Amino acid sequence: IVAPLVKGTIDKSRASARAIMLSSAFVSYEYALPLRRAVIDRIIALLEHGNPRVCAIAARYLHDALRMPYGIGSMSPPEDLREQYQAEFAATIEAVTAIMDRGGLSATTMLAVTDAVSWHAQYGGGMPGDAANRFLDGLPNDRSFRLRAAMVDRARFAFRGQIPREAEEDDVEKWLPALANELKETWPEAENLLDQLEDALADLARAAIGDGSAYMLVNTLLQDDLPLARALLVRAAADPRSAFRSFVWGAMAQLLNLEPADGRRQIERFLERDADMAARGVAALGSLTRSFAAEDLRLLRRAVSSAELAVSRSALVALRWSKDLPDQQVKGIALLAPFEQQPDLLNEVASLLLERR
């Protein structure tokens, strides 16, 4: 109902029996201002709501409220309208910054608001850009916030309190290992570190904020760390709803490369009792940094021929990644897939065979 007030344009498209005309118009700023201001004030107030998911949703609407209106095609707002919106954007961001400065925003809400203002800080310039930079400069720098910031979607591509906004790509690649080292120095025991990761993932889930970059952080933490890999697998196996199931591949890859026999034993146990864990673990066979052993190939054959679709499919993916295996060997293993029970596998096997022809 109030979308046009936030969007700043209205649709004027028309259609008849013979033609369709696409058209839009800008909403008069002065006419809509009282209602628009009421909507934005409500959005800002909801940033302090007791439910973190409501706060994150409000931040997404804030993102829309901070977008310059554009019409269909190349229709751009006139300069005077643009100046009015820029002044409003700056005032809106400053109002949110004031709430943050007095401690009114949770960590997840600050991350959601960062997503809403980061474009202005990086590309917008002018009054909105200055205001957005002031917001970003006021973000916390404590370890807890930076941990959560490293997990959110696009953590490497938008400022999240990790690196300077003007940083070069090399700096972007360095901050993640540095953060991982800091976390391990603070929580050297695997169980304590997993507790911190679990809390951060739970916070993001409660706010319905995507944790699409968490795998990069967790895989960096897992690198050459067998105690952490084993502890993560235990937690993931203990609870089918565990957030750590998303990182089983990374943990199992470390185990298979550093302690192959133990890794294979764990996958075999999963094949017997937990198809989901088995599917996630089998995929790691495609990430070996060592040569395949006969035992690895036997395990891969068993997984490909599994009656469980997810397990067989993951094994085929691992087979596709295993570029060092000879073509004939790959084809022989791929043809073990249970086509009669799982005809959906035909396309995947055919694609794999075409790659290896």
Instruction: Supply the pLDDT for residue 123.
Output: 83
What distance lies between CA 209 and its chain's CA centroid? 8
pLDDT tens-digit readout, 175-195: 888 899 999 999 999 999 999
Task: State the pLDDT confidence band at 166, using cuts at 50, 70 and 90.
Answer: low
Residue 314: pLDDT over 80? yes
Phi and psi at residue 336, to the nearest 5°: -80, -5
| Residue 337 vs residues 264, 276, 314, 326: alpha-carbon distances, Å | 20, 18, 11, 18
| Residue 349 vs residues 49, 249, 281, 326: alpha-carbon distances, Å | 51, 22, 20, 16
- The residues, ordered by sequence, that sit 6+ positions from 58 with a Cβ below 8 Å of its Cβ are 43, 44, 46, 47, 49
Residue 337 carries which DSSP code? Answer: S
User: Helix 52-65 crosses helix 190-206 at what angle (to 10 degrees)?
Assistant: 60
pTM of the full predicted structure?
Answer: 0.87
**Can you name the residues that pair with 9 across neighbouring β-strands?**
26
Q: Which of 57-61, 76-80, 203-207 has the lowest mean pLDDT?
A: 76-80
pLDDT tens-digit readout, 13-66: 788 777 787 777 888 889 889 999 999 999 999 999 999 999 999 999 999 999
124 compared with 104, residue with greater pLDDT: 104
User: Helix 260-273 crosses helix 294-304 at what angle (to 10 degrees)?
Assistant: 20
SS3 21: strand
Counting beta carbons within 10 angstroms of the beta carbon of residue 222, is it exposed (0 to 12), middle (13 to 18) or buried (19 or more)? buried
User: What mean pLDDT comes out for the span 130-136?
Assistant: 93
Instruction: Supply the pLDDT for residue 220.
Output: 95
- Average pLDDT score over the chain: 90
User: Helix 214-222 crosses helix 248-258 at what angle (to 10 degrees)?
Assistant: 20
- Per-residue b or e along 250-283, where b marks 16 or more CB atoms closer than 10 Å to that residue's CB: bbbbbbbbeeeeebbebbbebbeeebbbbbbbbb
CB 40 within 8 A of CB 65: yes
Residue 157: pLDDT over 60? no
Q: How far apart are CA 16 and CA 183, in angstroms?
A: 63
Residue 312: pLDDT over 60? yes
User: What mean pLDDT comes out for the span 279-291?
Assistant: 96
Share of the chain above pLDDT 70, in %: 93
